[in-house]
């Protein structure tokens, strides 16, 4: 499973790279707005830092403008993935841009039918939103499982990029289902290393070392 970091904070991305937990980055206008920086400038900086895919999202709603914005974003760097919303206009733009050889991340997916249309439109990635479905009492992980089944049934190469990850359990459950990628905030990814029994065991270990006066350096 690939880990994408869902942020536009370059310091946070650098930390995740140092840890070895950054196979790519996803951004969106909301995340970039929080950074207070120009969208093209911050996207270029992230692309220069990261070897893997960097999703950069269009802001237009009509297909013609989405296509032009997508082409402009793609010129920033070779590892840019154009991020489009899952609307009919977004799917039309996906078809055009993917046929030109651009990588596309179709986002805001909330149903298996939407995911099927994205695959048929040539999407490189589909981003189903787990947490937002959970928020309205629909099991988000069921959607990941449904998409996995459909894509496997028909041999679609579109990768499942599980998004709106809220908890570490979301990540492990997506891994068991077979999602190709997860994208999550840095804090959630780092929290995967935490366990109360690890902390308890380490505390006892440290006490024993101090009592025995053991040193290596």
Active site residues: 83
Beta bridge partners of 25: 5, 54
- Helix ranges (H only) for the chain are 10-19, 29-35, 39-49, 63-74, 88-99, 112-120, 130-135, 140-154, 168-177, 186-191, 196-212
Phi, psi values for residue 82, rounded to 5°: -80, 125
- Cα–Cα distance between 61 and 146 in angstroms, integer? 28
The two tokens of residue 99 are: 């046929």
- Cα–Cα distance between 158 and 119 in angstroms, integer? 6
Q: 111: burial class by Cβ within 10 Å (0-12, 13-18, 19+)?
A: middle
């Amino acid at each position: 499973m690939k880990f994408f970091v869902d942020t536009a904070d370059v310091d946070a991305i650098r930390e995740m790279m140092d840890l070895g937990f950054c196979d790519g980055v996803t951004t969106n206008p909301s995340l970039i707005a929080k950074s207070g920086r120009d969208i093209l400038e911050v996207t270029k900086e992230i692309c220069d830092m990261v070897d893997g895919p960097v999703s950069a999202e269009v802001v237009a709603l009509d297909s013609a403008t989405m296509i032009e914005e997508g082409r402009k974003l793609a010129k920033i760097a070779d590892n840019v993935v154009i991020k489009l919303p899952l609307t009919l206009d977004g799917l039309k733009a996906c078809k055009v841009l993917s046929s030109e050889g651009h990588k596309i991340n179709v986002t805001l997916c909330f149903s298996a039918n939407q995911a099927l249309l994205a695959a048929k439109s040539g999407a490189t990635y589909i981003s189903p939103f787990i947490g937002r479905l959970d928020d309205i009492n629909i099991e988000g992980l069921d959607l990941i499982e449904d998409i996995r089944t459909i894509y496997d049934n028909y041999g679609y190469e579109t990768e499942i990029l599980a998004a709106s990850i809220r908890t570490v359990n979301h990540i492990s459950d997506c891994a068991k289902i077979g999602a190709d990628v997860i994208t999550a905030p840095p804090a959630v990814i780092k929290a995967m290393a935490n366990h109360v029994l690890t902390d308890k065991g380490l505390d006892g270990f440290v006490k024993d070392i101090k009592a025995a006066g053991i040193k290596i350096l």
